[in-house]
Amino acid sequence: MSNLVEAPLLSAFDVKKEYDTPVGVLEILRSVQLIIRKGEMVFVTGKSGSGKSTLLHLLGGLDRPSQGKILFEGKDMTEMSEKELAKIRSRHIGYVFQFYHLLPELTVYENVLLPTLIAGKPNKIWVKEVLKRVRLWNRRTHFPSELSGGEQQRVAVARALVNHPAVVLCDEPTGNLDAENAASIMALIHELNAQEGQAFLIVTHDEEMASRHERTYRLHEGVLVPGQRFTPHPEVSPSPKQIL
C-alpha cells in the first residue's frame, strides 16, 4: 500500500441536528466535523443524552441532518433518495446496536444470512466464515433467546460484517455487557479491524477504554472535542527524561 493518506470513507461537515418538540426546538448537534478513513478505529464518548446515537443515525443514513453534509466515499448522503440510502446502508455500512436487535424468530445462522439476501448477494460460505470468526458456528441453529448477552452481541457483530461493509458503526456495543463479555467484544472488533481492514466508529460510555486509542472524541454541547490520550498510572508512566 502507498504512504498516501487514504481517501475519506465517511465524513461529516458542519452537521447540525435539531428536533422540533412541543416545548420548542432542541438543538442536539451544533456543528459536527468528522472524517473516517479506511481501516481507522474512531471512538466517541459523551454523557447520556449528548447526541451520540443521533450522530450514529445520521452517519448511518438512518436519519438526515437539519444542516450540513454527510459524505460516503465523496457522495452526499443528505441528497440521496431513500432507495439510494437503503442501498448504501445495506452494502457499505454495518450497524451494531447496544441491545443487539436480532430477529427473535430467526436462528443465529438466519440472522446473519438475512442481510446478504436483502443485498441480493447470498453468500453461505462467508456466513459460515464470519460465524466461525465470532466463535458461534457451533451455535448456528440456536435462537437469540437461547444465547447470553455477549453471544447475542457477537451475532450482531457478525451480522453487521456479513456484507463486507467499509465502515461499521457501533452504538455502545458493550454497554449492556459485563466486563468479561465487553472485553471479548472489543477484542473481536480489534481482530476484525486488523484482519478485514474495516473502519469502526465506536460509541462507548467507557471513557478509559476509549482514551487508550489515538482517535477519541467526546461529544460535548453539540460538537466533537478531540480527547486526551490516556495515561495508564502515574507510577508506571515514563518520566519526561525517559521519553526524551
Ligand X SMILES: Nc1ncnc2c1ncn2[C@@H]1O[C@H](COP(=O)(O)OP(=O)(O)O)[C@@H](O)[C@H]1O
Interface with ligand X by CB under 6 A: which residues?
A: 19, 21, 26, 28, 46, 48-54
120: left (phi over 0), alpha (psi -120 to 50) or beta: left
Please name which of 45, 16, 28 lies closest in space to residue 202, comparing C-alpha atoms.
45
Count of positions on this chain that bind Mg ion (CB under 5 A): 2
Grid coordinates belonging to 107: 436462528
**CB closer to ligand X, 109 vs 217:** 217
Pick one of Mg ion, ligand X, none as the site partner of residue 26 (Cβ within 5 to 8 A by kind): ligand X
Pick one of ligand X, Mg ion, none as the site partner of residue 17 (Cβ within 5 to 8 A by kind): none
What is the C-alpha to C-alpha distance for residues 33 and 107, in angstroms, rounded to an integer? 39
Pick one of Mg ion, ligand X, none as the site partner of residue 198 (Cβ within 5 to 8 A by kind): none
- Quick check: 53 binds Mg ion (CB under 5 A)? yes
Q: How many Cβ atoms are within 10 Å of 123's Cβ, its own excluded?
A: 16
Min separation Cβ 218 and ligand X, Å: 11
Min separation Cβ 20 and ligand X, Å: 8
13 burial (CB, 10 Å; 0-12 / 13-18 / 19+) is middle
**CB closer to ligand X, 25 vs 179:** 25
**CB closer to ligand X, 153 vs 204:** 204
Min separation Cβ 45 and Mg ion, Å: 11
Min separation Cβ 225 and ligand X, Å: 14
The interface mask with Mg ion, positions 77-106, x = CB under 5 A, is: ------------------------------
Beta carbons of 200 and 189 less than 8 angstroms apart: yes
Is the C-alpha dihedral spanning 71, 119, 100, 209 positive or negative? negative
What is the C-alpha to C-alpha distance for residues 218 and 226, in angstroms, rounded to an integer? 6
The interface mask with Mg ion, positions 13-52, x = CB under 5 A, is: ---------------------------------------x
Query: Dihedral angle at the C-alpha atoms of 60, 168, 119, 197, nearest 10 degrees?
Result: 140
**CB closer to Mg ion, 176 vs 211:** 176
What is the C-alpha to C-alpha distance for residues 198 and 80, in angstroms, rounded to an integer? 24
Pick one of Mg ion, ligand X, none as the site partner of residue 153 (Cβ within 5 to 8 A by kind): none
By three-state DSSP, how is residue 116 classified? Answer: helix
